[in-house]
Amino acid sequence: MSSILLKSRSLGVLLIHGFTSSPEQMLPYAQELNKYGITCLLPRLSGHENLPDSLAHVKAEDWLQDAENGFNQLRNEVENVVIAGHSLGGTLALYLAQHHTKEDGLIAAGVINPAVRLTPEQRRAITFSRFYEKKLGMSAKPFQALRKTIDTVRGKLKQVEVPVIIFASSEDELIPHSYQQWLFDQLTTTKFFITLPQEGHSPTPEAAEVIIKTFLVLIDSLM
């Protein structure tokens, strides 16, 4: 697992990229956060080294371990950790929040359009992905790993104890905005819900600025 580490002071943010993306997706966030003296670690998830070929053999357990390794690496560098991620990265951030508390140095989680539920159409597509694997030559494994990761996290949302900040795009073409509201309702910890108007699954640079500014204000209030 390769990563990019922008080092600074006692607060660190683990920024986890989305499915079929790379650490560079989160680099603009890291560069901006670093201006405020925040250490940032951007791990590369397994199977994302040489897309799409490297995804053919990935397992959900690989991504869960990548997230854990990233948290431990960053925790060795800083006193306080915030975990954040986009889409699959947001799912993994919630996974870490289910397994770590303030006693471990974790103070909050920030997620952008996290994948915690699949639409019925998406589930059917993954169920029949073996058909497409033979017909189109596409590996079914990464999609099955994605489904297992989501199912693993979805069933334990009430275990999250640290504050969670949810950024949800109003026009997300992959994960309905209502699913993010469902996530908010499932969480029993301190939580914040910020809607990104007129935004799709991958927020624009303008929306990213809003995310960073809001994120900084909320994190400052939690420190």
**Based on the number of CB atoms within 10 Å of its own CB, is 120 exposed (0-12), middle (13-18) or buried (19 or more)?**
exposed
Instruction: Say what the pLDDT of residue 137 is.
Output: 54
pLDDT band (50, 70, 90) for residue 3: confident
Bridge-based pairing of strands 191-196 and 80-86 is unpaired
**What range does the domain containing 65 cover?**
3-217
pLDDT band (50, 70, 90) for residue 114: very high
Instruction: Say what the pLDDT of residue 138 is.
Output: 58
- The better pLDDT of the pair 1, 205 is held by 205
pTM: 0.91
Of 86, 123, 125, 96, the closest CA to residue 203 belongs to 86
Most confidently predicted of 53-62, 123-132, 160-169: 160-169
| Helical residues (DSSP H) of 155-204, grouped into ranges | 177-186
What are the pLDDT digits (tens) for 98-113? 999 999 999 999 999 9
Query: Dihedral sign, CA of 137, 121, 199, 25?
Result: negative
Q: Is the pLDDT of residue 26 over 70?
A: yes
Distance, CA of 187 to CA of 158 (rounded, Å): 6
Most confidently predicted of 29-38, 50-59, 156-165: 156-165
Instruction: Say what the pLDDT of residue 51 is.
Output: 62
**CATH number of the domain encompassing residue 41:** 3.40.50.1820
pLDDT band (50, 70, 90) for residue 2: low
Distance, CA of 176 to CA of 181 (rounded, Å): 9
Instruction: Say what the pLDDT of residue 50 is.
Output: 73
- The better pLDDT of the pair 113, 4 is held by 113
Instruction: Say what the pLDDT of residue 136 is.
Output: 45
pLDDT band (50, 70, 90) for residue 6: confident
Assess if residue 222 is contained within a domain.
no
Q: Put the strands of the sheet holding 191-196 in their side by side order.
A: 3-6, 39-43, 11-16, 80-86, 106-112, 164-169, 191-196
Instruction: Say what the pLDDT of residue 118 is.
Output: 81
How many residues are given for the chain?
Answer: 223
Question: Structurally, how many domains does the chain consist of?
Answer: 1
pLDDT band (50, 70, 90) for residue 127: low
Residue 136 neighbours by CB distance under 10 Å: 8
Assess if residue 223 is contained within a domain.
no
**Cα dist from 159 to 38, 90, 207, whole Å:** 27, 16, 30
Given a contact cutoff of 8 angstroms between Cβ atoms, the answer to whether 115 and 143 are in contact is no
